Amino acid sequence: MDVWRFNIRHLQAFLKTVELGTLIGAAKEVNLSQPAISQAIAKLEEQLDCSLFERRNEGMNPTVAANVIYPRVKETLRYIGRTNITRTQIKAFLSFAQRGSFIEASKTTGLSVVSLHRAVRDLEISLKQPLTRRLGRGLVLTDYGHAQARLFGLASAELRYMVEDLVSCQGVRSGSITIGAMPVCRARVLPAAIVAFQTAFPEINIKISEGSYAELIEPLLIGELDFLIGALREPTPRADLIQSPLFTDDPVVVARAEHPIFSLSQSSESTVGLLSSYPWCVPQSGAPLRDRWERWFRGENLSLPNISVECGSIIVNRQILLKTDSLTILSSDQVAVELNAGLLKVVCSLPKELNRTIGLLCRKDWRPTDSQACFIDILKNISQSN
């Protein structure tokens, strides 16, 4: 969906017509003639395939459709923040910001490299700030450029939500949900929620981006992802984010079935001192699971064990465990197949106070569409029942 097919001035004309109730009032605010305002609204109605106003002698009365899209249009224009820039400029700049070069942006937009260059330069003139700077033989974003890319990305998301809200109010489910999935949720809860949701709404496309918190946070902030699911941070990492708990995960220590630790310990609860004598595969510093692992040993007044591998990939760690005497800490759901097959075994559990909370992370000003809200409800129900 090309959300930038909508003209920014047309959106401004619509917004002011809703707020002021007359074409004359909107024309003064947007600095267009009354016929131009009328044409702008007509064009927007054509693009959205619906009527936005009832034309009456006393003014313009918004329809149900207009009231549905009004909040999204208002947010879109708030993120754009300017009246002197164009959709072509924003589209060109976002393509460059997302692809990292004008050549790659040209492939995705169909615009020539020269046209993209010109559009971004015109945008810099309008904003009176440099968006890019030269680094070696290429261009990278300036700090201001990164900030603008984030705002324009959020404007893009609001336009996508606007269309989905409108279609939903007409009784049709369509569109997509884009989710950032951190490791733990991918093992059991998220797949179950996707199956349940698509059974009810097969026409909704779900897109999953897998990665760590560090890899997914920026796509969330710029609107490429609707929300994240995974281990929550303590405290909430940013003031512009909201965390909502789903369920508690009980991490366990795992080793290969033939690991020598099982012959040394007669019970499933090995001492922390015994565990500290073996190498470990753990996530990198900053990950909630790594923080809990460190607190566990320090709480026992022990030095941290030798970390042979720092890695958050379950696939990589699983293969290392099967071939070495390394230990790791993770959710048993993540290696359920290997545990059931007898390839791996649980050495012991962690103290309950080191359990981690798995939940949702979203932008503070994010307002979900009906489809997104429905998916989250299903996700919460499945989390509570497991």
For the ranges 78-82, 162-166, 207-211, 260-264, which has the lowest average pLDDT? 260-264
For the ranges 30-39, 60-69, 259-268, 323-332, which has the lowest average pLDDT? 259-268
Q: What is the CATH classification number for the domain harbouring 85?
A: 1.10.10.10
pLDDT tens column, 289-321: 899 899 999 998 999 999 999 998 888 999 999
Indicate whether 221 and 268 sit together in one domain.
no
Indicate whether 105 and 58 sit together in one domain.
yes
Residue 265: band (very low, low, confident or very high) from pLDDT cuts 50, 70, 90 = low
Share of the chain above pLDDT 70, in %: 98
| pLDDT score for 272 | 85
Indicate whether 101 and 181 sit together in one domain.
no
Indicate whether 193 and 224 sit together in one domain.
yes
Give mean pLDDT, residues 49-60: 91
Tokens of 212: 């760590």
pLDDT tens column, 217-252: 999 999 999 999 999 998 899 999 999 999 999 999
Share of the chain above pLDDT 90, in %: 76
CB 99 within 8 A of CB 87: no
Q: What is the CATH classification number for the domain harbouring 326?
A: 3.40.190.290
| pLDDT score for 270 | 52
Domain boundary among 172, 190, 222: 172
Residue 22: band (very low, low, confident or very high) from pLDDT cuts 50, 70, 90 = very high
From CA 184, how far away is CA 382, in angstroms rounded? 15
State how many domains the chain has.
3
Q: What is the CATH classification number for the domain harbouring 377?
A: 3.40.190.10
Indicate whether 193 and 263 sit together in one domain.
no
Indicate whether 259 and 336 sit together in one domain.
yes
Indicate whether 14 and 162 sit together in one domain.
yes
Residue pointed to by tokens 């917004």: 15
Q: Residue 80: pLDDT above 90? A: yes
Q: Which is higher by pLDDT, 268 or 260?
A: 260
| pLDDT score for 269 | 45
Give mean pLDDT, residues 360-381: 96
| pLDDT score for 267 | 47
| pLDDT score for 17 | 97
| pLDDT score for 312 | 85
Indicate whether 211 and 264 sit together in one domain.
no
Q: Where in the sequence is the domain holding 348, given as residue range(s)?
A: 252-354
CB 329 within 8 A of CB 291: no
Report the b/e string of 189-204 with b at 16+ CB within 10 A.
bbebbbeebeeebeeb
